[in-house]
Structure 1
Amino acid sequence: MKSLFDEVANNAYPGRGIVIGTSPDGTKAITGYFIMGRSENSRNRIFVEEGEGIRTEAFDPAKLEDPSLIIYAPVRVRGNDTIVTNGDQTDTVYDLMAEGKTFEEALRTREFEPDAPNYTPRISSVMHVADGKFSYEMSILKSDNGNPDCCNRYTFSYDKPVAGEGRFIHTYKHDGNPLPSFDGEPTLVEMVEDINEFTEKLWDNLNGENKVSLFVRYIDIKTGEYETKIVNKNK
């Protein structure tokens, strides 16, 4: 099992990342989502709370060049489901699950982002916390090794997550030009009991130049009550 903090510390540009897991004592379902940026447009963002979720917003509206792909709701809550994604597919998952579709079926209507030559993967997740039980799913939609003619779709389901364990998925394997897509299964990482320690360590270990915002939520598996932390580089 790897250290989440080492994973991000040793990668200057993982892009956007989702981590989900269970606290070591087994009582909390944990998620974290971060965004990074290399361009001024990407870095000109903050997370703001919206209902039970969050959305991205331009920190300086005057500097906003292109809102597509960077302004969206990364987190939305629908009943017992917490949806976390790196784009407007959050709304796709929310709307189609409301119609009775599964997480995987909803994402079949989407594909990677059209930002050639990177073709940034769409990474998505849903956490189910109900009746004292917790399970989650993660997904990545990516080009076929940089070929946009084929969308490769992968869904990973964790029906009984082990206490103290989490999974970490991010858009890019590492920095590059073009940026290489994440490869393989979500990385098995160690989770932390305390939300403040988890938030601080994750934020501190993200690349100082490229990090933009971080969202962390700890959900009580028995009650469904949650605590949220948001960190924005722009203040």
Structure 2
Amino acid sequence: MKTVTIKSELENNAYPGRGIIIGKSEDGKKAVAAYWTMGRSAGSRNRVFVEDGEGIRTQAFDPSLIAGDPSLIIYAAVRVLDKKTIVTNGDQTDTIYDGLKSGLTFEQSLRSRKYEHDAPNYTPRISSVMNFENGYDYALSILKSDNGNPDNTLRFTYTYDAPVAGKGHYIHTYMGDGNPLPSYEGEPTPVEIKGNIDEFTDNIWNSLNENNKVSLFVRFIDIETGKYETRILNKNK
């Protein structure tokens, strides 16, 4: 699959929904993670990212506007367990954390979960884990309905044993806008990772649809030392 630019990928899709990019910096020294949220409704847009220990979580910008099931919009998006960093689009972050802690693999941990219960969209659960136990490798996962059939959960895991400098893989929840929203299809998209953390962050944020973007998290992790830098951008301030 051809490697594309983040700018072209995002500017050609007004509503990719929530997205994750995992990869390696241009100089090959940093592991790179990005996660963003988007929203069409007032409830979905009523969110910000906040730091929570070594991770981040979503938080209501205006608590009075929370309606429906808050677990779909309020959750830990990033958690760190020893030499693993988990990034997901939902409360399956905790499922993966607990599973890894008890000795399960990333894939095994997600066997207990399905797509989100937001019919008729059945939003996919997208997840990732970055592993620094022996160098650096990563995996991405998507759990989704069978073309809108809620009786069948499709589960895909993609592993990357030797990340390439200046390259990452991008997975998101929706192919575009629609009613119901069409779930992501295919393998994670190979994307270029260019510049330092601020340049990379700005490139993503400025390429996301202005009306629909909500929050963005980016982290660069030194593969050798484990030290990291984090950037968080929220449209609600």
Residue by residue over 1:158-188, the C-alpha shift from the partner in whole angstroms, topping out at 9 and shown as x without a partner, is 0011111100000001111111100000000
Cα RMSD of the aligned pairs, angstroms, is 0.7
Q: Which runs of 5+ in 1 are unaligned?
A: none
Return the match for 1:39 from 41, 45, 52. Answer: 41
- Answering whether residue 128 of structure 2 is matched by residue 125 of structure 1, we say yes
- Identical positions, percent: 64
Could you list the runs of 4 or more consecutive aligned residues of structure 1 that deviate by over 4 angstroms after TM superposition? none
- Answering whether residue 115 of structure 2 is matched by residue 90 of structure 1, we say no
CA distance in 2, matches of 1:164, 1:198: 11
Aligned twin of 2:167:
165
CA distance in 2, matches of 1:174, 1:39: 15
Aligned twin of 2:225:
223
Q: CA deviation at 1:68?
A: 2.5
**1:68 match: secondary structure:** helix
CA distance in 2, matches of 1:180, 1:83: 25
**1:200 match: secondary structure:** helix
Which residues of 2 match residues 84-233 of structure 1 at below 5 A?
84-131=87-134, 133-233=135-235
CA contact (8 A) 2:6 2:203 kept: no
**2:72 match: secondary structure:** coil
Calculate the TM-score normalised by the size of structure 2.
0.97
CA contact (8 A) 2:86 2:128 kept: yes
CA contact (8 A) 1:165 1:190 kept: yes
CA contact (8 A) 2:71 2:91 kept: no
One-letter code aligned to 1:191: I
Aligned twin of 2:74:
71
Aligned twin of 1:9:
11
**2:99 match: secondary structure:** helix
**1:152 match: secondary structure:** strand
Residue by residue over 1:121-177, the C-alpha shift from the partner in whole angstroms, topping out at 9 and shown as x without a partner, is 00000001235x110000000000111110000000000111111000000011111
| Count, aligned residues | 234
Q: Which runs of 5+ in 2 are unaligned?
A: none
CA distance in 2, matches of 1:160, 1:120: 30
